Amino acid sequence: MASHRKSRTPGARVAGIRPPALATAALTSVALLSQTADAAPGDDRPSLEEVEKKVGDLYRQAESATEKYNAAKEKTAKQRKQVDTLLDDVAQRTQKLNEARAELGSYAAAQYRTGAGMPDTATFLLAETPQDVFDQRQVLDRMTGRQKAAVDDYVTQRTETMKKRQEATESLRTLTETQGDLKTAKATVQKKLADARELLSELTAEEKARLAAIEKRKQQEAARKAAELARQQAAQEQAEQQEREEAAQQGGRSSEGSGSGSTGSADTPPADSSYATKAEKALAFARAQIGKPYVWGATGPGSYDCSGLTQAAWKAAGVSLPRTTYDQVNAGTTVPVSQAQPGDLVFFYDDVTHVGLYVGNGMMIHAPKPGAYVREESVYYDGESAIHSIVRPA
């Protein structure tokens, strides 16, 4: 509405200002315009917090693509093995088919030499599809049992060979599609990582220092949360131990009368001694890998991605885990974070794209992300909300 109020002309307004005041106002305007001009180029640049979030998102997207790559790679290997088996089977069946065909040819030749019903028999035995004329009873009546068996064998071999050839063709098609998925996932990983590196390369030295300070504060908060979880677990363990002792005293010698020693955590399977032994071996392996680089798609021994590390660690304990986080999350019993035990798998994010190995006291060993190394740090390294679930394998 102010734009319609024109009670004074611009000239009259300026005329009312004394020269010194006018000069001051002009200088102020120039300074403001100068500041605005200087700030304009930087307006399009993202803030440091935005850069940090974008880089973090790119790394998570790269890790998600890595798990898809791992799944496609594993599927490709299985399908290639299946195709090779089918092709070998087709070759063997083709050989048997040729042998059956040769045997039929010998019968036809013998009948031709003896003149015994040569036209019908030769037509039947040498036809490309014997089944089409199988109902010619007059021909079958002149065949011996051995000749009928040879025909049956030929028909069976032909049918089975065609079936296996179709299976091999379909498996080859599926394999080609999976190889395409593999290439797509690989390209996606490389693109995300390249974008993240480009963003980081554009930061000034001061911005990189500020970013490091932000990361340090996050690590301090994560360590505080880990210590808090450790205190909670210690208090819970002490309370459960006290309950067990009281139950043992009340139950006397009767183990049945003690209520089977159940406590407030009865809905969660306990980490028994056999699990603890295996977990100790898995953790010993994981600790030995600390300092090795994260490499997407790697399963050791010189480098690992997150699920490659957990798979290798539990393999050292004699337990076979699936290759990807998507499958590992279903390879055990889910437990609350408060009841996590050493050796448990800690999964992150809604799409379950990261995993670490719990070591106790709110800490874990994991292969974090590209450019980082296998290390031990808080399970709250990316915030409490990032934790998806805790799974107890074996």
* Catalytic hit among 323, 354, 388, 392: 354
Tokens, residue 248: 């043992």
Beta carbons within 8 Å of 294's beta carbon, 6+ residues apart: 303, 304, 305, 306, 367, 368, 369, 370, 371, 372, 373, 374
Q: Is residue 306 flagged as an active site residue? A: yes
Cross-strand pairs, 334: 391
Give the sheet arrangement for strand 387-392, strand by strand: 333-335, 387-392, 345-348, 354-360, 363-366, 375-378
3-state secondary structure of 339: helix
* Catalytic hit among 68, 93, 366, 392: 366
The Cα 77–Cα 175 span in angstroms is 9
The Cα 207–Cα 386 span in angstroms is 26
Largest CA distance in the chain: 136
The Cα 189–Cα 67 span in angstroms is 10
Q: Is residue 4 flagged as an active site residue? A: no
The Cα 127–Cα 158 span in angstroms is 12
Tell me whether the omega of the peptide bond preceding residue 301 falls within 30 degrees of 0, making it cis.
yes
Tokens, residue 243: 């309950």
How many CA atoms, within 13 angstroms, populate the side-chain half-sphere of residue 283? 18
Tokens, residue 310: 């957990």
Would you say 325 and 351 are in contact if contact means Cβ atoms under 8 Å apart?
no
The CA-CA-CA angle for residues 344, 350, 352, to 5°, reads: 45
In the block, which residue shows the tokens 């009873």? 137
Nearest to 325 by CA among 68, 72, 60: 68
Q: Is residue 388 flagged as an active site residue? A: no
Give the H/E segment covering residue 58: helix 48-114
Would you say 108 and 125 are in contact if contact means Cβ atoms under 8 Å apart?
yes
Query: Phi/psi at 355 (nearest 5 deg)?
Result: -150, 145
Where in the sequence numbering do the catalytic residues fall?
306, 354, 366
